Chain A
Amino acid sequence: MKTVDLQKQSVRELNQALHDQVAECTEREWVVTDPKGAHNIACGLDQNLTVDIQGHAGYYCAGMNKKAHITVHGNVGQGVAENMMSGVVRIKGDASQAAGATAHGGLLVIEGNAGARCGISMKGVDIVVKGNVGHMSCFMGQAGNLVVCGDAGDALGDSLYEVHIYVKGSVKSLGADCVEKEMRPEHISELSELLNRAGVEEDPAAFKRYGSARQLYNFKVDNASAY
């Protein structure tokens, strides 16, 4: 196990060392201590590594992650796991806005709450939030799954494409073209599997499903006020 103290080494040195594991993997388990909210920790990884960040992280932690399993034992700033391709990112605390933005794959678990625009423009990632999510979450979400075990803020799923959204608690309001949909057996099954992967104990039957009404997929004169 390799330990990097971010009060003694820079984020640049840490990231370069993690990136170097692609050419030759010399260490699979990494621990990052004293992050003190630094930005861009462990972004651009492309190797099957385990990275434990012991403290709070700033913006874009685990950005564009591939393959790596990254855990933050604290809160994270904006854009955690943005554009993630694969792997697992787990946040023990809360996440600021745009968590999992545009992410294509992998699993993002937020054990606390997520701020505004969680899952914005998501493109295939699975996101499980044990707490609440803020307004405009899943805005223009294209593919993947967003699971919210708490409540969702205003305008959930605005201008949604094909993301499946599951919410256990209340939804303050739905965004344009987002509607509640029937929870069929295949959705219960899908949600069970997502909760299992995330290690979250919840009853899938207690959730409601939301998705796109697909009324904004093509320009229509009568939709002018929604554009």
Chain B
Amino acid sequence: MSKDIDVNAGLRESATFDRTTMAEIRRAADTGIYDIRGFGAKRKLPHFDDLLFLGASMSRYPLEGYREKCNTKVTLGTRFAKKPIELDIPVTIAGMSFGALSANAKEALGRGASLMGTSTTTGDGGMTPEERGQSSKLVYQYLPSRYGMNPDDLRKADAIEVVLGQGAKPGGGGMLLGQKITDRVAKMRTLPMGVDQRSACRHPDWTGPDDLAIKILELREITDWQVPIYIKVGATRTYYDVKLAVKAGADVIVVDGMQGGTAATQDVFIEHVGIPTLAAIPQAVQALQEMGMHRKVQLIVSGGIRNGADVAKCMALGADAVAIGTAALIALGCNDPKYDEEFRKIGSAAGYYDDYHEGKDPTGISTQNPDLMQRLDPVVAGRKLANYLNVLTLEAQTLARACGKNDLRNLEPEDLVALTVESAAMARVPLAGTSWIPGQSF
């Protein structure tokens, strides 16, 4: 075992070329190909931890924590759909594919979401019977690859999500390496077994917002205008994207910030493309408000949401609901320390594992290996997810009541302050103890 570095001996690590940076340079020199990994951005970013709530005192009345109601229900898709989707809690499960995840993991997500009366979402690879069977409310993603896309499943969905991008890789397509293209996955995607599958980044049959408006009408025609149609964008030029999505006819807009996770993409993409979730929400809300569509076209926000405070802060900034992906997987058991020894055998460690694309996940979540997959009991894991969703909801309600709100959607930016100048500018709320919102006043 190497001895600790003695900083008193004059050894100084470079801030520019730190050990992680040097390791990546050596890895690149050895292999000649970029690093592919899963998870989301690992760099430190302005985030919800940089915001605080102003609880009620003299000027605001709080609600009693256990006696006075604080509504958590939300209805999505009220603009055009004959059957909007009604959720008991404003926390949904984000799109993650069968292929990237095991069938047991997908089933567990469905079970957990259904126990809490919320929705889960398919991914790049189509809808599995396990997922549909266990999901009382299922959102069917319509992706550039159209893997497994068919009108029968489209009509089985409770909502359709047209995916233009995701926060981890806005501008990039999906990726599923050959290790995970098993016979079943290959058949669902109409691909040869074992290929390194790279999904398209652009939809094959429309090229801009004017075309998208017609595409959305086609989806509505096929489903007889029954279900809501979402548009999901990775957070970049969010203000303009949201305006265009509204014009294209979306019922619901999903904005995924750069902390959002992925099953596999280039590390350089994850860390260097997109904007933080915190910065995206006010842009989206501004766009909706300017069009008179805030609360009429519902806004779902995702990307790095971990606890009820994050949920409440998103909603205070103007979201109608949030979606979780990485946090949901952690609730199922992703990166569980009980498998630390096995993580180390594959060159990682519990809490650090992000090589989802290799299909060796000891927890049985991001793998297609039947032996590993069996480790995840979908009933037990689904219960854990439901517990976690319950905690998120209770925490968010606690904060809302403290701010005097009897509905999570009554939280507002006025309830928030920021700890840093950066977060104040991005979230467009005052720096704590001041009335200063950088960019809006001096």
Contact = CB atoms under 8 A, between A and B. Distances in A.
B222 A78 contact: no
Contact of A40 (B151, B211, B217, B224): B217
Given A44-B223, A64-B151, A121-B204, A221 B195 contact: no
A161 interface: yes
A39 B224 contact: no
Interface string A111-152: 000000100110110000000000000011011000000000
Contact of B149 (A102, A139, A140): A102
A227 B266 CA distance: 13
Interface in B16-66: 31-33
Given A140-B200, A218-B178, A221-B31, A40 B223 contact: no
Interface string B191-221: 1101110101000111000010011011001
A82 interface: yes
B195 A218 contact: yes
Q: Interface residue tally of chain B, by bracket?
A: 20 to 34
Interface stretch (A12-20, A26-34, A49-57, A182-190): A12-20
B103 to A, nearest CB: 22
Given A39-B214, A43-B218, A161 B204 contact: no
A40 B221 contact: yes
A59 B218 contact: yes
A139 B198 CA distance: 13
Interface string A206-227: 0000000000011101001001
A72 interface: no
Nearest to A82: B205
Given A19-B224, A83-B150, A143-B190, A98 B204 contact: yes
Contacts of A139: 204
A120 B221 contact: no
A76 interface: no
B149 A83 contact: yes
B196 A217 contact: yes
A85 interface: yes
B206 A43 contact: no
B214 A59 contact: yes
A145 to B, nearest CB: 14
B146 A43 contact: no
Contact of A217 (B195, B215, B217, B222): B195
From A19, A43, A44, A117, residue with most partner B Cβ within 10 Å: A44
B227 interface: no
Nearest to A120: B204
Interface residues of A, number: 43
A77 B92 CA distance: 37
A94 interface: no
B211 A59 contact: yes
A11 B221 contact: yes
A101 interface: yes
Nearest to A14: B221
A101 B33 CA distance: 32
Nearest to A20: B224
A166 interface: no
A40 B221 CA distance: 7
A218 B194 CA distance: 8
A62 to B, nearest CB: 11
Given A78-B205, A98-B204, A224-B33, A121 B146 contact: yes
Contacts of A83: 146, 149-151
Contacts of A124: 190
A85 B192 contact: no
B357 to A, nearest CB: 11
Contacts of B31: 221
Interface string A68-105: 00000000001100110100000000000110011010
Interface string B155-182: 0000000000000000000000110000
B206 A79 contact: yes
A12 B192 contact: no
B303 to A, nearest CB: 27
B14 to A, nearest CB: 28
A43 B204 CA distance: 17
Nearest to A60: B218
Contacts of A142: 189-191
A43 B219 CA distance: 9
A12 B221 contact: yes
A157 interface: no
B267 to A, nearest CB: 15
A15 B196 CA distance: 39
Nearest to A219: B196
Nearest to A119: B204
A117 B189 CA distance: 20
Contact of B224 (A16, A78, A101): A16
A218 B196 contact: yes
Interface of B: 31-33, 145-146, 149-151, 154, 177-178, 189-192, 194-196, 198, 200, 204-206, 211, 214-215, 217-218, 221-225
In the A-B complex, the 3 residue pairs with the closest CB atoms: A44-B222, A79-B205, A98-B205
Given A12-B221, A43-B221, 7 more contacts: A16-B224, A44-B151, A44-B222, A59-B215, A59-B218, A82-B204, A221-B32
22 contacts: A39-B214, A43-B222, A44-B223, A58-B214, A59-B218, A60-B215, A60-B218, A64-B154, A78-B205, A83-B149, A85-B150, A97-B205, A102-B149, A120-B205, A121-B146, A124-B190, A142-B189, A217-B178, A218-B195, A219-B196, A221-B33, A224-B33
